[in-house]
Structure 1
């Protein structure tokens, strides 16, 4: 958990800053904002397979350390973009390269941490593993957003990049001190077969991830457009909701069944997204973000339990990579499509679209309940 927290804290500090940096400092529109925020997940589509295979074959600690090295590279690319602020095309190219490398860094850290914990605790505790790792993810996102905003306000984009590098290096040092576990033994499925095994829970995850993606990419801009303060607090509220949901109800997927929990939670997520869409003042939007975070966290856990249950032990690292890859597809496409939708119909429309995606995820969870594997 500590490795995941430090790893995503380092890259997460830039999340609330990047949309406005690209839009205001570099003069780009919402479509380019969506491209910058979403391109990370294009890289993750390729990195997940490698991260899972490395965790299964050579042990998960090596994968996590590789992710921290990539995080330092992200910070260096952002720092290199600062002198080119007067040349937006060059600065944008470096920022996009940093976002692509972010996809590699986060893929290796999160996938390796999940595989690490599954080896230690076993598949009967898969829900708890996904729950606690997910809590570390959202705790880091929630805590890093205001920290990153404050550092940027005081020291600019270059100061933010230096802070990111410092946190990533601290995470690398700390992870080096954690005892590793042996690589998995036995016949491993090819990654293409692993994808087939987890495709149904993965599809449910992909659709319910749209709301998460839209809040990360566009909440700050939505608040600014409406003249509201506290756009970064929408990210914090989503992270807080995620953590509270996991603390109170994180035991349910292992006990009540992953598909049943996922069904209830994606419906609640749709309600939270609709609240952001219709919010008359920031308090409603913050509450909607908190509900979305809590519901999404448990849905992720529920669908993940179903993915682990379907996969043989020697391939569970690859299964975690394959499962999260479906999230990456949503996270990569949603900002791009959301940017185009925002340009055509306004920023509010992206949250209506995400709510509809959550209801599609509910249909998949219902089908899994009726036809369990």
Structure 2
């Protein structure tokens, strides 16, 4: 049963309105979180591959997300955002089954890692439908001026699940093995699917004139480039922080990613309203500097305390860069195209992750794991230039509007 929301949520009720969506994303993304710290260890230690292959396996998910992202956004616009989330959860179940299949061939490492690559690709497509559908769902439930809160809070649910999944996955991997991760990936999406049968959907916008892909791309590309550059830092922590901790004999190996995720959630809880209030470009400009400083601390750290503090600082900085630049996307597109616009916007992140993981792995193999985070800091800093460009563009548009009046 579908319904069209007649009364938009007021500011004070935005989070309450988004709760069902956030719950679905939270549980759905635990399946990704549990694998984040242990998948590199499984590929490196159990299957015997080097850091380049670790980066390749991690990046496969984001490459598949890139391929499916625009499709996921268009699907949500045309068929309903809830249907996009459901499709993604079904894909996640398939990825879990492939994880289980890969374990049947651990004595043939090349075949096992090939199946893992396929599983990660399927999970990438699933993730694309889940998060793109969830954001589009949220944007349909609240007023346009709360777009930053929607992107921030739905993203917070995603990172919360990853922060929770990190220690859970590490404990399960240490005590049971990768099979526990495979089983969770298969079972949890089924639980969420049952939950969503009780959650009403939101009808899609009526068909009618929609902007062309080229027109939407022209509005999205500059914020998208900024998000891609900033996400290289996230990519470094995602794929290589557990290996850095393991290499330095620091425990627990999941601490950096959990510190990153917890700081990100705290920042969004305390400051998630800032992009809507002050403008996305201004907020992105400030917070990306904080992110870069955190990555530098990780790269230079000689103790786990300093590295974890750097990860927390990087998470605090990255927390508002993505939603802040997302506000710029929403303000430049029409409601009928918001799913497609957010799909394209997130696709830039996928490009960064798909390319960044193997490249950073190559850098780490040549110059050491610490350099991964220093290089990431340099790339992330380039986002400040993009934010400055958006500020100049906005000032020029306002000046032209004033002259026309």
Do the structures match in fold with TM over 0.5? yes
Deviation at 1:122, TM superposition (A): 2.7
Pick one of 84, 87, 92 that aligns with 1:71. 92
For residues 182-222 of structure 1, the C-alpha deviation after alignment (integer angstroms, 9 at most, x for no partner) is 11123222334322210011110000000100100000100
Structure 2 CA distance, aligned partners of 1:306 and 1:176? 33
Equivalent residue number for residue 257 of structure 1: 279
Cα separation, 1, equivalents of 2:378 and 2:66:
24
How does 1:95-244 map onto structure 2 within 5 Å? 95-185=116-206, 186-244=208-266
Shift of 1:275: 0.5
- What is the DSSP-based 3-state SS (H/G/I as helix, E as strand, rest coil) of the residue aligned with 1:371? helix
Deviates most, 51-60 or 175-184: 175-184
Q: State the 1:229 CA deviation.
A: 1.1
Residue 165 of structure 1, CA deviation:
1.4
Unaligned ranges ≥5, structure 2: 1-21, 398-405
Counterpart-to-counterpart distance in 2, 1:160 and 1:141: 13
Render the CA deviation track for 1:305-345: whole Å, top value 9, x for unaligned.
Answer: 00111111100010110111111111111111001111111
Given candidates 285, 293, 300, the residue that maps to 2:315 is 293
Contact 1:73 1:101 in 2 (8 A): yes
Matches of 1:34 and 1:159, distance apart in 2: 22
What is the TM-score normalised by the length of structure 1? 0.98
Q: 2:337 aligns with which of 292, 312, 315?
A: 315
Structure 1 distance, partners of 2:68, 2:89, is 14
Deviation at 1:92, TM superposition (A): 0.5
- Mark the runs of 5 or more structure 1 residues left unpaired by the alignment: none
Matched residues in 2 for 1:333 and 1:285: separation?
24
Greater radius of gyration (CA)? 2
TM-score, length-normalised on structure 2? 0.91
**Per-residue deviation, 1:301:** 1.1
| CA–CA separation in structure 2 for the residues paired with 1:70 and 1:144 | 19
Which of 372, 375, 388 aligns to 1:366? It is: 388
Find the aligned partners of 1:190 and 1:26 in 2 and give their Cα distance. Answer: 46
**Count of paired positions:** 373
Secondary structure of the equivalent of 1:254?
helix
Quote the RMSD (CA, aligned, Å). Answer: 1.0
Deviation string 1:78-100 (CA, Å, 9 cap, x unpaired) is 10111211000110111101110
